[in-house]
A and B are shown apart, each in its own frame.
Chain A
Amino acid sequence: MNKNLLFQETHEWLELNGNKARIGITDYAQDALGAIVYIELPSVGETFDKGETFGAVESVKSASDLYMPVSGKVIAVNEELTNSPELVNEDPYKNFFIEIEVFDESELKTLIDEESYKKTL
């Protein structure tokens, strides 16, 4: 279903588009969290290394950090999620969190495809 997406074990997906990429969380993650009440997102211009925390997702009873699948600079943030965090519960693959400029394409090799991701669950 999400053939062009790459995944990592911490439940983020990445959609590559040239040297840019969009990042979001998987259906498993949104279901485990329950109703999402707030999403803490970075500002445009911030840079993060692979594995660094770039934000957090909160539900009523839990909070989960979001981890960068690859290093990059934030070039866009999904503003809709500020007022409607529940969009991520509704469609986690359409409603991305951030869009980044990818620094090092070789890091993409460490990500896995959907089938492999599903095996880790």
Chain B
Amino acid sequence: MHKYFPHTQHDVEEMLKVIGAKNIDDLFKAIPKDLQIKKDYNIPLALSDIELDHHLNELAGKNQILKIFRGAGAYDTYTPSVVSALSSRQEFLTSYTPYQPEVSQGTLQYIFEFQSMITMLTGLNVANASMYDGATSTAEAMFMANAHTKKNTILVSETINPSILEVIKTYARYKKINVKMIPMKDGITDIHSLDQSNDYMGVIVQNPNYYGIVEDYTNISNWIHEQGGLLIINQDGQSLGILRSPASFKADIAAGELQSLGVPLSFGGAYVGYLATTNALMRKMPGRICGVTTDVDGKRAFVLTLQAREQHIRRAKANSNICSNQSLMALSVTIYLSLIGKNGLKEMTQHVLNASHDLYTKLIHTGLFEPVFNQPFYREFALKARVDLKALNNYLLTHNILGPLEIENNVGLFAVTEKTTLKDINNFIEKVVAFK
């Protein structure tokens, strides 16, 4: 017997009697004999709970927990205790897609609250129930632009995170969409060298961009709209609390990663993407959307709506194949934003702004780094090292510090978060100086 299988010998006999079969093997007659497995799987013997506890702790112990000064799409954010406690409630954790809304009002309600918060943060009118991550969300935004404008070229800024660019290119390649890059000049997107065209479905830009630089997209917005294309802004979750909203740049679609809002680093996943758009594009938006309605007794209730766009109905004609979302992570973000609220988000983003500049100034002061760009930045920045950056990073590791990401030869991308204290920064600087 195993604790996950309740069947006793007696149960099996009784059930087979009702079925009218001699043994369980009989039930598998449809599988041809030559396809039936003959030997055991080559996997380990079962581990008991105590053995599992030991094994997983051992594995976890082989991962080094570091004081983190790098970002590039994943940020060392703090998960409030209430977020973990509430999102692990079994009614949230072990439920599935709200196919029967009458017994899924919990899920539907938090999705509605999530959508509401995303529309408020982005300034756009409609948001869906979340996407796999910021990168795939941006790629799906590209598909929306393709379906809406019926044009075939997407423009992407060179200031975008290279991983996001890779994902966009993968999705574009198979849908036979052309990806054309907009050059970077002084760390920001430079459209001046580009000619107009009537084949641009839109432009994808990132704010803050890969280098942490905050860009003003007013000119690009006007430029692309003049040509009948869409403006797609990929903007990180936490930055929506302090930086100009996508809507204020007249973005048609906003997509991005929400991991920086209390979702654990967890070696790259599970994270959660968002997708928001204008009313005009609402029916082109992939993924699940929750709406409010009434029930037969007039009570307010929540339900999945606009399902006729989705794969299970449109099949080959759907704009996207997406089925599940990152529901539980969306819940986590919703609880997080409820806890920190308007004041908390303001305080934390101001802290991140201040701390990143403090680190920047101090690093330059050590004499070991020089600026790469001369642009306003939030949370992240690039510096050129006057020493061997690989060696410095190895040295920092011995002190349990994760130094900057080397994005080019001896150029490091540094990041701070709301967890980074003055003490952390001073300690970091001290180690850098000691390395000199």
| Contact flag (A, B; Cβ within 8 A) | yes
A83 close to B (CB within 8 Å): no
Q: Is the interface of B mostly helix, strand, loop or mixed?
A: helix
Per-position binary interface string of chain B over residues 303-328, scored 1 when its CB falls under 8 Å from any chain A CB and 0 otherwise: 00001110001100100000000000
Residue contact B283 to A63, C-beta cutoff 8 Å: no
A111 to chain B, nearest CB (A): 25
**Chain B neighbourhood of A60, CB < 8 A:** 307-308
Q: In the complex, are the beta carbons of A58 and B308 less than 8 A apart? A: yes
Q: How far is the CA of A19 from the CA of B317 in the complex (A)?
A: 32
A59 to B313, CA, bound (A): 10
Distance in angstroms between the alpha carbons of A62 and B314 in the assembled complex: 8
Contact in complex: B313, A62 (CB < 8 Å)? yes
In whole angstroms, what is the CA distance A40 to B284 when docked? 11
Residues of B within 8 A of A37 (CB): 308
Task: Decide if A61 is an interface residue (CB 8 Å cutoff).
Answer: yes
Contact B317 A62, beta carbon cutoff 8 Å: no
A62 to B309, CA, bound (A): 9
Q: Is the CB of A59 within 8 A of B308?
A: yes
Interface residues of B in 278-336 (CB under 8 A from A): 283, 307-309, 313-314, 317
The number of chain A residues touching the other chain, given as a range, is: 10 to 19
Contact B283 A38 (CB under 8 A): yes
B290 to chain A, nearest CB (A): 14
Which A residues are in CB contact (< 8 Å) with B308?
37-38, 58-63
Q: Provided the pairs A37-B308, A38-B283, A38-B308 are in contact, do residues A61 and B313 lie with their beta carbons within 8 angstroms?
A: yes
Q: Known pairs A37-B308, A60-B307, A63-B313. 13 more at Cβ < 8 A?
A: A38-B283, A40-B283, A58-B308, A58-B309, A59-B308, A60-B308, A61-B307, A61-B308, A62-B308, A62-B313, A63-B309, A63-B317, A65-B317
Measured between beta carbons, the chain B residues less than 8 angstroms from A61 are 307-308, 313
- 92-113 of chain A: CB within 8 A of chain B: none
6 CB contacts below 8 A, A to B, read A38-B308, A40-B283, A58-B308, A60-B307, A62-B313, A63-B313
**CB-nearest residue of chain B relative to A40?**
B283
- Enumerate chain B residues within 8 angstroms of A63, measured Cβ to Cβ: 308-309, 313-314, 317
Set of chain B residues within 8 Å of A58, measured between Cβ atoms: 308-309
Nearest A residue to B315 via CB reads A63
